[in-house]
Amino acid sequence: MNDRIDLAVWSAAPLDPCYATLGAPYHQPVAPTPLSQPILLHHSATLARELGLDGAAMGSPELLATLVGNNPWPGYVPHASVYAGHQFGTFVPQLGDGRALMIAELRTQDGRHLELQLKGAGRTPYSRGADGRAVLRSSIREYLCSEAMHALGVPTTRCLSVAGAADPVFRETTETAAVVCRVAPSFVRFGHFEFFYHRGAHQYLASLADHVIDTHFQHLAGQPDRYAAWLGEVVERTARLMAQWQTLGFCHGVMNTDNFSILGLTIDYGPFGFLDHFNPHHICNHSDDAGRYAYSAQPEVGQWNCAQLLQATLPLLPGTPEQAVEIAQEIYARYAPVYSQAALRGWADKLGLRELHDGDADLLNSFLGVLHRGKSDFTRSFRHLARVRTDADTPAIGVREEIADLAAFDAWITDYRARLTAEQNTDDDARADGMNRVNPKYILRNHLAQAAIEQAQQGDTAELDRLAKLLARPFDEQPEMERYAAEPPEGQRHIEVSCSS
């Protein structure tokens, strides 16, 4: 491959090195490990356009070679960054990009800074003895879910491409290698700050924080109180992200501090899943024996992780150590009310309530209780709820079929209709339209992802393409795709996924 190809042949977005300028000790240059005969399995056409990459570029063998690590992005030195993290509550002093490499930083035509990172491109100084590879199954899952979450309106890293090769990768069994090209404004994590704080290398915290502020919180750049203001925004972004996860029924599975983005993005799609039947105690990661990251625990874990970030950034806060702690405690206290407000608003939208009234939380919890007792499907039940009319003589077609405890549901729907009529200017059609814009019809259920993976492992990417197109429009009625909105077959519900990828 020609590694001297003109950058303009690929992308209209110029290089915009920001994180790269930090240098050591924040990251180290690393040469990717080449893949033999890589094949582009799929790419996000919408994201490619945002990056100034047209269809011809995405189809070029030269760009594919770069998107799997065989050739460098012209003018940019790939590197891996170092960070620490609390993993399942236990502090690990050094982690880092064990199989990820930053290969480019671009400035889009609309002025955004975006970073391109390869996952699965081989060993780095932070691989901790591992091979630095990713396997096909996990790479397809990350590719699909990143773009699905974006379409759902959730802040997230995204995926430009997923490519595979026949190179063997040894996990529980022998699998084949794959590389995803992830894209985000920043890949800085809470754990980046923990690394320098817990090593006593506090002199490196300010430069890292200023990089994040100058690049991504420019309205705070240069202000004397910028660190406290910035941390307050990070805490609030994290709280709002947790509220979105809960209202969508999304379970992350590995909510370690090294998997929490400093920009409040969903990052690192390893063991994840969307709820099938509603179970607040659902655990999507079969390695999480204690249920630390169960669905119901996610908001509290998000707050705990913010506490670890605030601890790691105490040296940036003004005054005496005691005064810095007081400032950090004030920032920490912002999490709970922001989460509560965002969650209440999100749940109200799912119920079709424009106004917030006393008793709305009780109304919601009663409905969730009905779903839990009857093991009703979370996504389907909320989607069908839009079909309820305020007229008590009109049957609740759709949602009633999802319910096992019909007596409890019939009592609840009487209260629900009364609450709907308490809204000013009640309009069933307008309410239904609004509910269908927040309650998706299609989500990335694990059994759907598994079907696409199994076909791709046989060299057939038709299902991968079909699923990607479906999930790009999660709120739209797509009659020809109705079967993808069905409940999972018996035995394929609430599939738990491992960390092994």
* 235-270: pLDDT as tens digits: 999 999 999 999 999 999 999 999 999 999 999 998
CA dihedral defined by 278, 281, 286, 287, rounded to 10 degrees?
Answer: 150
* 206-241: pLDDT as tens digits: 999 999 999 999 999 999 999 999 999 999 999 999
**pLDDT value of position 9:** 54
Phi and psi of 164, rounded to 5°?
-125, 170
pTM across the whole model? 0.95
**pLDDT value of position 392:** 84
**pLDDT value of position 425:** 77
Average pLDDT, the chain: 94
Which tokens in the block code for residue 213? 């502020």
- Tell me how far CA of residue 415 lies from CA of 94, 390, 406, 408, 430, in angstroms: 53, 11, 14, 11, 20
Residues of the chain above pLDDT 70, percent? 96
**pLDDT value of position 5:** 45
Q: Which of 280, 279, 281, 292 is closest to 253 using CA atoms? A: 292
For the residues of 270-324, what is the DSSP string, one character each? SS-EE-SB--TT---BTT-TT-TT-GGGHHHHHHHHHHHHHHHTGGGS-SSHHHH
**pLDDT value of position 497:** 66
Strand partners, 356: none
Q: Give the catalytic positions in this structure.
A: 258
Question: What whole-number distance in Å separates Cα of residue 463 and Cα of residue 340?
Answer: 39
All residue ranges of the chain with pLDDT < 70 are: 1-10, 492-501
Which tokens in the block code for residue 427? 């309009």
* 2-61: pLDDT as tens digits: 444 454 556 778 999 999 999 999 999 999 999 999 999 999 999 999 999 988 889 899
**pLDDT value of position 176:** 95
**pLDDT value of position 2:** 41
Strand partners, 79: 29, 102
**pLDDT value of position 402:** 87
Question: What whole-number distance in Å separates Cα of residue 232 and Cα of residue 268?
Answer: 23
